[in-house]
Chains A and B, each alone.
Chain A
Amino acid sequence: MASATKQLTYRRYTSIEFLLGTGLTGTICLLVLFSDLLFPGAGKIDLSARLLPPFITMSHPFGTDPLGRDVLARVVAGGKISLMVGLLSVAGAVVIGVIMGLISGYYRGFWDMIVMRFADVQLALPFILLAITFIAIVGGGLRNMILLLIISQWVQYARLVRGSVLALRDREFIQSAQAIGVGDLNILFRHLLPNLIGPVIVLMTLNVANNILLESSLTFLGLGVDPLTPSWGGMLADGRTYLQNAWWVSFFPGLAILLTVLGLNLLGDWLRDSLDPTGRTSK
């Protein structure tokens, strides 16, 4: 990782991917973090101000929804759910996937076979179908959705890590560590892990973006977060009913998803190019 970081030259920090990516992601994270301070009355219902169009009053720049709530404040509040789902699900999947990948790549054998067959099955199933079945059975909600994302994604990290371990395990630095009697745990986490973490970080960034999209799709379908909690997918589903006369109710939450995911994707893309010396030809 250390040598990889050194490869990041000045030019890379001024690339459009990096500037736009950090700009978008940073702004959205700050807005969401301080949403309670910025918009104290986010959920306030005001039936006298129903469906106000955007850009007309200063107090409601994005207009109001059918219950007179400020759309801007709700969009910012909805970001909390999306970012939370994105970050927690990726954190869970990384922990499980990296440990499984290290073990199955380093020890091979029976455990390796189980993990890889499991991966085959999961990769053959499109996520949305898995999600529909899972949620039809255990029900929706925030916790179940994070769980579902972890279950369906740890395999990606396990495969990635396993592949790198297979390439690294016979290298001299590992053999010499084994020869001087370094314990297995030490080899796995202090010698192997730092050398393969780069691509894992790239995958994590892209998956936070991806999971925000998945969460909002599921919530939009009515399979995700509780409809009473403000979330981008839920607001879009509500807004659809008013599309004829109040486009802004569904326009702004979608724009928020787009910008957040775009910011993360730009960062992920930039990270991939920065960590990969042959970056320009990668897909």
Chain B
Amino acid sequence: MAGFLLRRLFQAIFVVLVVTLVVAFAIRLTGDPALMLTQGAGSVTEEDLARIREALGLNQPFFVQYGNFLLGILHLDFGRSFLGGTPVAMLIGKALPATLMLAFASMLVSIAISIPLGIKAAISRGKWPDQTIRILSLVGLSFPNFWLAIMLVLLFSIFLRWLPPSGMEGFTSFIMPATTIGVILTAYNVRLVRASMLETMQFQYIMVARAKGLSENVVLYKHALRNCAIPLITYFGLQFGGLLGGIVVIERVFNWPGLGTLALDAVAGRDYPVLQGVITVLSMLIVGVNLLVDIAYGLIDPRIRMEGRD
């Protein structure tokens, strides 16, 4: 077990290192940050540029700079924003909770819809409710999420005036963004729930439960659903990465003060330290969640550990 944990941990660290290295290298390719910093600052002499490079550590070799960036991360120091000089860690600290809260709200919406629908599809396999849910889930998968968001704004904010169109203020502002992401996640999850339920319901203990005369709801929700909970939780955990990607777009539509908005503003303002920081934090988060899911799964199901060995 210790070997499995260590190996997964090393893999996770390797992935984060490669991501940060590629991003750092790519950003270096775009040009001299000293020149970018002084854009529009009027007359800048060669000495001024040299002083800025000295102050930012840009005159050191690339790998020394990268090493310093990594050391900085260990102290939660991601450098300072080119625009205004705010520490990047502070900007991320403000935006991260907004993104995470939206992610969890969307997950909740999706789980609340997909479990009953998935079970319904599984028990009516091949009949019309199953077919309808199947087609509906394909429709959900085909939705451009930003368009769904705009249409919700049109309906609930402009026509009906029930919900605030943007920003993060109170419970009501969560409804539309979380629904948008939740609906699209549900399209995936319904299929997962259906497939795991179909698999679980083949087992003999389900037959035994029915033979005992338990009501169908008890059989489905207490016996079957509980037994496919583990693979489902794993899938939901692994979705986290894709979920964060979708949130970036949705944050822009709803002006949500999260990491996506931060990253997009950083691109627009060529604020590379902020962009680098956001991407590093997001990739650490995704790799971290995947690692936790893997470990949890490995603890519960020993076959996974064996598979990882070759």
Q: Does A228 contact B (CB under 8 A)?
A: no
Stretch at the interface among B94-102, B134-142, B175-183: B134-142
Query: How many Å lie between the Cα of A258 and that of B144 in the bound state?
Result: 7
The reply to whether B146 and A120 form a contact with Cβ atoms under 8 Å apart is no
Interface residues on A, range: 35 or more
Interface size, chain B (Cβ < 8 Å): 57
A129 touches B267 (CB 8 A): no
Majority secondary structure, A binding face:
helix
Q: Would A124 and B241 be within 8 Å (CB), given that A129-B282, A132-B267, A240-B150 are in contact?
A: yes
How long is the Cα–Cα vector from A120 to B231 in the complex, in angstroms?
21
Q: Are B195 and A283 in contact (CB under 8 A)?
A: yes
- Encode contact with A along B141-152: 1 for CB under 8 Å, 0 otherwise: 111111100110
Let me know if A262 and B142 touch, CB within 8 A.
Answer: yes
Interface string of B15-30 (1 = CB under 8 A from A): 1001100010011011
Task: Please give the distance in Å from A275's CB to the nearest CB on chain B.
Answer: 17
With A133-B26, A283-B191 known as contacts, the answer to whether A128 contacts B283 (CB < 8 A) is no
Within 8 Å by CB of A120, from B11, B23, B30, B263, lies B11
Q: Check if A220 sits within 8 Å of B249, measured CB to CB.
A: yes
Select from chain B the residue with minimum beta-carbon distance to A212: B144
A124 with B290: CB separation less than 8 A: yes
Which residues of chain A have C-beta atoms less than 8 A from B89's C-beta?
A: none
Whether A129 lies near B245 (C-beta < 8 A) is yes
Cα distance A132–B135 in the bound complex, in angstroms: 32
Partner of B275, one of A132, A251, A266, A280: A132
Q: Does B287 contact A (CB under 8 A)?
A: yes
Question: For the complex, what is the distance from the CA of A216 to the CA of B253, rounded to whole Å?
Answer: 14
List B contacts of A222 (CB < 8 A): 268
Is residue B248 within 8 Å, beta carbon to beta carbon, of the partner chain? yes
B232-274: CB near A (< 8 Å → 1, else 0) gives 0000000001101110110011000000000110111010100
A127 CB within 8 Å of chain B: yes
A281 to B287, CA, bound (A): 30
Beta-carbon contacts of A240-280 to B below 8 Å, as 1s and 0s?
10011001001101100110011001100100000000001
Please, which residues of chain A bring their CB within 8 A of the CB of B241? 124-126
B267 touches A124 (CB 8 A): no
Residues of A within 8 A of B144 (CB): 213, 216-217, 220, 236, 254, 257-258, 261
* A-side contacts of B268, CB under 8 Å: 222
Q: Is residue A202 within 8 Å, beta carbon to beta carbon, of the partner chain? A: no
Output the nearest chain A residue to B157 by Cβ-Cβ distance: A243
Asked whether, in the complex, the Cβ of B244 is within 8 Å of the Cβ of A243, the reply is: no
- Contact of A133 with B23 in the complex, beta carbons under 8 Å: yes
Residues of B within 8 A of A (CB): 11, 14-15, 18-19, 23, 26-27, 29-30, 125-126, 131, 135, 138-139, 141-147, 150-151, 153-154, 158, 191-192, 194-195, 198-199, 241-242, 244-246, 248-249, 252-253, 263-264, 266-268, 270, 272, 275, 279, 282-283, 286-287, 290
**Given A124-B15, A133-B23, A236-B146, 20 other A-B residues pairs in contact with their CB atoms under 8 A:** A117-B14, A124-B287, A124-B290, A125-B19, A126-B241, A126-B248, A128-B245, A136-B266, A136-B275, A213-B142, A217-B146, A251-B154, A257-B144, A258-B144, A262-B142, A280-B125, A280-B126, A281-B198, A283-B191, A283-B194
